[in-house]
């Protein structure tokens, strides 16, 4: 007899013909901040310090089941995006029959692509590297574009990538590192990847 798994979680495996009822505690919807579509690559999601993992249903929601009412810290560790931690407060759902976690009033979590993300060849990007005065890469710094809602983080190698939309031909922008007053000017070119000079910080 051959078996084919339909779903596998940390508590059970479901095969064709099985009937199992689970109580949904809450669900999380992820989107790609660049494409505004479903994320790509592998994603691991679990409740912090418990090992309780989410499973992804056929609609694309990441679901947790069988939890006692309460507030939980959820760790999201994607392959091609920066990790996220969010708080899922089960008492805060406006509709208990639709327990979707909201962040900043939105029923979705937007994942920021990391420098390893497979951007299309025509993407308008700025890539750079940030090091300390001693020459070591600096991780977790926030890099943003002055006057625009564009920002991202540096990874463990000190690298960052900023992605632009609605750039016509060329545009001069100013990068601000971690909110510091020091500013770095760079020219963005439509449909191209521009490399910023190595940025050194104290």
Q: Average pLDDT across each block of 10 residues of the chain; the chain has 202 residues. List them in order.
A: 51 61 89 96 94 93 93 97 95 84 91 97 95 90 93 96 90 87 84 88 76
Widest Cα–Cα separation across the chain: 68
What Cα–Cα distance (Å) separates residue 161 from each residue in 81, 148, 173?
11, 15, 14
C-alpha span between 185 and 202 (Å, rounded):
19
Instruction: Characterise 121 by phi-psi region: left (phi > 0), alpha (psi -120 to 50), beta (else).
Output: alpha
Using alpha carbons only, give the angle 187, 191, 196 rounded to the nearest 5 degrees. Answer: 35
Q: Are 75 and 85 in contact (CB under 8 A)?
A: yes
Predicted model pTM? 0.84
C-alpha span between 17 and 148 (Å, rounded):
53
Q: Give the Cβ contact number of residue 67 at 10 Å.
A: 16
- pLDDT of res. 23: 84
Query: Look-up: residue for tokens 């992804």?
Result: 56
Domains and their CATH numbers in the chain: 7-111 (2.60.40), 124-201 (2.60.40.1120)
- pLDDT of res. 3: 42
- pLDDT of res. 17: 62
Query: Rg for the chain (alpha carbons), in Å?
Result: 20
């Amino acid at each position: 007899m051959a078996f084919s798994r339909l779903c596998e979680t940390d508590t059970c495996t479901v095969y064709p013909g099985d009937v199992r009822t689970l109580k949904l505690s809450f669900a999380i919807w992820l989107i790609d901040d660049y494409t505004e579509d479903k994320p790509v690559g592998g994603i691991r999601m679990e409740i912090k310090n418990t090992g309780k993992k989410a499973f992804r249903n056929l609609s694309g929601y990441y679901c947790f089941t069988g939890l006692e009412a309460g507030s939980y810290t959820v760790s999201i560790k994607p392959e091609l995006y920066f990790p996220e931690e969010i708080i899922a407060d089960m008492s805060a759902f406006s509709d208990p029959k639709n327990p979707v976690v909201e962040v900043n009033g939105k029923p979705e979590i937007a994942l920021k692509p990391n420098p390893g993300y497979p951007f299309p060849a025509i993407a308008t990007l700025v890539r750079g590297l940030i090091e300390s005065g001693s020459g070591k890469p600096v991780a977790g710094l926030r890099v943003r574009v002055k006057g625009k809602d564009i920002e991202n983080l540096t990874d463990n190698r000190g690298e960052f990538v900023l992605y632009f939309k609605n750039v016509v031909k060329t545009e001069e922008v100013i990068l601000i590192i971690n909110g510091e007053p020091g500013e770095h000017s760079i020219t963005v070119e439509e449909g191209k990847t521009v490399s910023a000079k190595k940025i050194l910080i104290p």
